Structure 1
Amino acid sequence: MSTDLLARVRAAAAGTPSGASRPAGADADEASAGTVPTAPNNAETVDALHTWLTRYEGHIARRLPTHVEAGAFLAAVRDRLPALEGCSPASILDAVLACASFGFVPDGREAVLTRDGSLAVFIPTYRGFVKAMHNSGVVTSVRVEFVYPGDEFTYEPTRPAPDDFRHVPNLDLPKAKRGEPKFAYAFAWLRGGDRSQPVILSREDAEEIRDKYSRAYQRAVETGREDSFWHTDFWAMARKSAIRRLVKVVPTSAELRALEAVDDAAEAGRPQIDQAPDPEVAALVAEAERAAKAAEGSQDVPPARLPVKAKGRRSKGKKQRGGRRGARGRA
């Protein structure tokens, strides 16, 4: 993506205050000026947005990792456009580019594109964070579960892993009668067979995270909309919060750090493209990290032994010389 286009997207997206209204159908320059009129109905608005977005398909495709097919990604974006009607076009492009940088298809599984006031935002789901953890090459498996009333659960943090906790779900109880979860927990198995520290998140913990850190939740309360993800799917957000806490206790990576920063930017209403990894930059960072790990590893290798003279041959010589002297003395 050109530096010029990136600058325009950042400037236009940053200049759109949360809650303000911007016309749909504009490109990055037009979004700044607000000169493009909205279409008269939803279908035409979506078509106008899609037509506008196709101008940047090349830039979007270049952001995608090679294993993600551009057609499938763009089809998922088009499916989300009706939900983004009324968002500033610059914020839509910002969110789409950020999502593409991680290789997440915004179909609701690993990521979603959603609306926050007049801003379109890219939101990674808990599965997106799990994927990024697997991509680090250090994590082999991640578990995130809910504990319901009636389940058997014990947790003794002073015991060594994996005997510190045990969860046995009550599968005899129908889902309709299980009630709300009591809390969520998450842990990861690491390469080499070790298990991470488990993270346990109660409802009170989740509410504290929501109230303290989620600007999207606060804005929804202030405007009376009550349509944030914390309102519509509390326990899904609690599960994601458990995963985000788990990220802090497992070996991290540049991708994971960037994903946290992008998620935080969405909550704060800031442009996300600034936090997303550029493919070329990400490759350089990964190469630098591999080199750093190799350098650290070299410090653990014992220094090479210096060559020494063979003692056995020298001793044999002394013995022979001593033997000859002894023979002469006896003669």
Structure 2
Amino acid sequence: MTDSPISNALATRDSGPSALIAQHRNDIELVMPSHMQKRVGAWIRTTQGLLRRNEKLLEAAQNDPGQFMAVLMDAANLGLVPGTEQYYLVPRWNKKKRCTEVTGVRGYQGEIELMYRAGAVSSVIVEVVYATDRFEYRPGRDERPLHEIDWDVVDRGELRLAYAYAVMKDGATSKVVVLNRGHIAKAMAKSESASGKYPHLSPWSTDTEAMWLKTAAHRLTKWVPTSAEYIREQLRARADVAAEQTPAPVALPQPITVDVEDEVVEGEFVDEDEVA
């Protein structure tokens, strides 16, 4: 009895990229931030489930398992979940290999997660502005943008702007990033997933608003600490403070050794009988 195409496909999944992920569980857990390591099982199951649901992604992972694992390790190192708006997994056409391979695209929720994880911000605001929205922001005059939305409008029109800023722990407002359609178009043109052989599979096509948000959030990371950089700076600062507060060692006087036999003490001899 021969196997059916469906059973063959399931066998491929069980012995292909899904099995490869399970085999590298320890490596994945090792590079994850400590707060994610307890959830490595759920992280792996989410990724395996994505392969089961997406034939194109499964095919791309099978074409180059090494590239696929490199992308997953990048997501794990950042502490982001693949196949979500934190970190997209996208099939990309490789001209040299003449086949698709998996590439990773950090989403706007991933960018925001890294900013929060740094511990320097109390809130991050990332929004898009549609044609019917009211938006005002003048640098130097306004601390934060004014964005008003008529929620009764069924169709808010086309996407017009994207903006992002953060409120720091001390209450200060970070630099405000505002991007128009021209800025977004330039960012999209640089995206390999959007300009490749399968642009319809790119998040630029499947989740356009999210990619506008991601572009604004990514620009904001230039002005707001992300986890790795901020933690390193904090550790360096603490080390500097500790060094300044540690008193310098006091040089104790060296003990003076005296050779009794060689020492000559000048003085008056006193007769004990006369004293008495």
Q: Same fold (TM over 0.5)?
A: yes
CA distance in 2, matches of 1:158, 1:58: 51
User: Percent identity over the alignment?
Assistant: 29
Alignment equivalent of 1:81, drawn from 51, 69, 73: 51
In structure 2, the residue matched to 1:132 is: 114
Matches within 5 A, 1:64-75: 64-68=32-36, 69-75=39-45
Corresponding residue SS for 2:179: strand
CA distance in 1, matches of 2:234, 2:206: 41
Corresponding residue SS for 1:67: helix
Change (3 A) 1:67 1:158: closer
In structure 2, the residue matched to 1:123 is: 105
Matches within 5 A, 1:113-262: 113-117=89-93, 118-162=100-144, 165-174=145-154, 177-211=155-189, 213-218=190-195, 220=196, 223=197, 226-254=200-228
Change (3 A) 1:67 1:299: closer
In structure 1, the residue matched to 2:31 is: 63
Change (3 A) 1:157 1:134: same
CA distance in 2, matches of 1:99, 1:79: 16
CA distance in 2, matches of 1:298, 1:71: 39
Query: What letter corresponds to residue 170 of structure 1 in structure 2?
Result: D
Q: What is the TM-score normalised by the length of structure 2?
A: 0.72
Kept in 2: contact 1:80–1:113 (CA 8 A): no
Change (3 A) 1:63 1:206: same
Corresponding residue SS for 1:182: strand
CA distance in 1, matches of 2:120, 2:101: 35
How far apart are residue 104 of structure 1 and its match?
Answer: 1.7
How far apart are residue 208 of structure 1 and its match?
Answer: 1.4
Q: Does 1:292 align with 2:236?
A: yes
CA shift digits 1:110-156 (9 cap, x unpaired): 22323223322232211111010011111111011111222222111
CA shift digits 1:254-309 (9 cap, x unpaired): 358xxxxxxxxxxxxxxxxxxxxxxxxxxxxx4x53343246769999xxxxxxxx
Query: What letter corresponds to residue 102 of structure 1 in structure 2?
Result: L
How far apart are residue 80 of structure 1 and its match?
Answer: 1.7
Kept in 1: contact 2:91–2:101 (CA 8 A): yes
Structure whose residues are more often strand by fraction: 2
Matches within 5 A, 1:312-327: none
Change (3 A) 1:85 1:255: farther
Determine which structure has more spread, i.e. the larger CA radius of gyration.
2
Residue segments in structure 1 that go unaligned for 5+ positions in a row: 1-38, 257-285, 302-331
CA shift digits 1:170-191 (9 cap, x unpaired): 11212xx222221111110011
CA distance in 1, matches of 2:7, 2:103: 24
Corresponding residue SS for 1:231: helix
Change (3 A) 1:42 1:178: farther
CA distance in 2, matches of 1:224, 1:172: 37
In structure 2, the residue matched to 1:98 is: 74
How far apart are residue 91 of structure 1 and its match?
Answer: 1.5
Kept in 1: contact 2:161–2:179 (CA 8 A): yes
CA distance in 2, matches of 1:154, 1:53: 48
Q: What is the TM-score normalised by the length of structure 1?
A: 0.61
